[in-house]
Amino acid sequence: MIIPKEPKLTKEQFEEVVSIVEEYGCRVQPIEGHHRTIYAVLGDERETIMVTRILGLDYIDRFDAVDTPFKLMDIKSELAHHKIKIGNIILGEAPFIIAGHCTIDPKNPNLFIESAHAMKEAGAAAIRGGVWKPRTMPYAFQGDDASMKILIEAKEQTGLPVDTEVMDEHQLSIAVEAGVDILQIGARNALNYSLLKKVGQETADKQIAVLLKRSMGMGPVNEFIAASEYIAAGGNPDVMLCPRGTSPTMDGYRNYPDECITPLLKEKTWAPVIVDPSHSVGRAKYVPSAAMAAMAYGADGVIVESHCDPKKGIGDDPKQAITPDVLKKLIQDIHQIWEIRKHYKKELPVTV
């Protein structure tokens, strides 16, 4: 990891660093933070001669070797103090709640707009809305490009950031150009490394965050963090990790709830954790309890399905979506848990 003396290298300085690094079969990826840019060396950064030459440049402050497979997402990396800001919230400083429809119905745009205003009134920090949705059955409704206009209209009317899932480069291009604030990578694409790389590249320097869901079949948390590394290595460090339930399912739930991995993630990576209780449990009546459990485990926020009239929803909404009234009470409870966590952290005894 190359750290310059100034907040950012000039074009000429960057080109000189790249030319040295490439001699040793490595490449340089700039990672822009809010206050300074660092430069990740991707490859064997322990090459002694390369390090010596880089340190010999008068505009370089230091060269930190990262002895971990996660050069960017590791909790000990130079990005450990990186903060992700979405809308008015800096993640980690207040609960971040994303709420809205699983899928936007292009035939009933007013319903989504109504729900968006209700989500804001309930206290949500961002609006979710599925423009496109992966479906198990090929003949089920899978979204419509035209729904992007509805999502952006909701953003403009409420003033809140918006979140939507993308599954390929075509959708990625539309979402980035339209001004989506959070790109969601679903469980089915969490191991699609080509897409993860492209997402990192296309969102670099654009102040677009990425919500990476955990694949249903992912094993150790290291595999989850490694997937996020692809996005960061592409140039965008604004990555949030989203446990959303895994397989095999637990009887009575849609998936096997996995919010309990939050402390493990927090021990290994600095990335914010935003849990999805809706897909985890799959039933609206269980969502508040699952969401509060996630916050008790130390999550930075939750993403929940919420709908003004769940029975009129398409996709998963009829089964999973909670009403705005339930959401409002849940958000109040989440803030109470947040305050309890802060107090508990202060009172926690020091252990060796």
Q: Are residues 93 and 154 in the same domain?
A: yes
For residue 4, count CB atoms less than 10 angstroms from its CB and return exposed for 0-12, middle for 13-18, buried for 19 or more.
buried
Question: DSSP assignment, residue 244?
Answer: -
What letter does residue 253 receive in the DSSP assignment?
S
Same-domain check for residues 249 and 126: yes
**Mean pLDDT, rounded, for 248-264:** 86
Q: Is pLDDT above 50 for 48?
A: yes
Tell me which of 171 and 32 has the higher pLDDT. Answer: 171
Is residue 220's pLDDT more than 90? Answer: no
Our count of domains for the chain comes to 2
> Same domain for 128 and 272?
yes
Q: To the nearest whole number, what is the mean pLDDT of the chain?
A: 90
DSSP notation for 114-183:
HHHHHHHHHT-SEEEE-SB---SSTTS--B-TTHHHHHHHHHHHH---EEEE--SHHHHHHHHHHT-SEE
pLDDT at 352: 40
At residue 351, does pLDDT exceed 70? no
Q: Is the peptide bond before 4 cis (omega within 30 degrees of 0)?
A: no
- 285 and 328: one domain? yes
pLDDT in tens, 235-245: 899 999 999 98
CATH of the domain at 181: 3.20.20.70
Q: What pLDDT digit, counting tens, does each position of 165-210 carry?
A: 999 999 999 999 999 999 999 999 999 999 999 999 999 989 999 9
Q: Do residues 22 and 155 share a domain?
A: no
Task: Report d(CA 150, CA 102) in Å as an integer.
Answer: 14
Average pLDDT over residues 297-321: 91
The torsion angle over the Cα atoms of residues 322, 324, 329 and 331, rounded to 10 degrees, is 90
* Between residues 72 and 161, the one the model is more confident about: 161
How does residue 44 score in pLDDT terms, banded at 50, 70 and 90?
low
Region of poorest pLDDT, from 91-95, 251-255, 292-296, 325-329: 251-255
pLDDT surpasses 80 at 34: no
- Check whether residue 22 and residue 133 sit in a common domain: no
Q: How confident is the model at residue 67 (pLDDT cuts 50, 70, 90)?
A: low
Residue 115: pLDDT band with limits 50, 70, 90 = very high
β-partners of residue 302 are 97, 275
pLDDT at position 128: 97
| Cα atoms found within 13 Å of the Cα of residue 225, Cβ hemisphere only | 22
- pLDDT at res. 62: 85
Range with the poorest average pLDDT among 99-108, 132-141, 253-262, 288-297? 132-141
Note down the domain range covering 39. 2-65
Is residue 98 located within the same domain as residue 60?
Answer: no
Residue 352 placed within a domain: no
Q: What is the CATH number of the domain that holds 58?
A: 3.30.70
Q: Is the pLDDT of residue 1 over 70?
A: yes
pLDDT reported for residue 173: 97
- Which pLDDT belongs to residue 91? 96
Q: What is the pLDDT of residue 169?
A: 95
My answer on whether 34 and 134 are in the same domain is no
**Which pTM does this prediction carry?**
0.86
Could you tell me the two tokens for 281? 């449990």
What's the average model confidence in pLDDT over 110-126?
97
Point out the least confidently predicted range of 32-41, 52-61, 144-153, 191-200. Answer: 32-41
Same domain assignment for residues 48 and 168: no
Percent of the chain with pLDDT over 90: 66
pLDDT at 116: 98
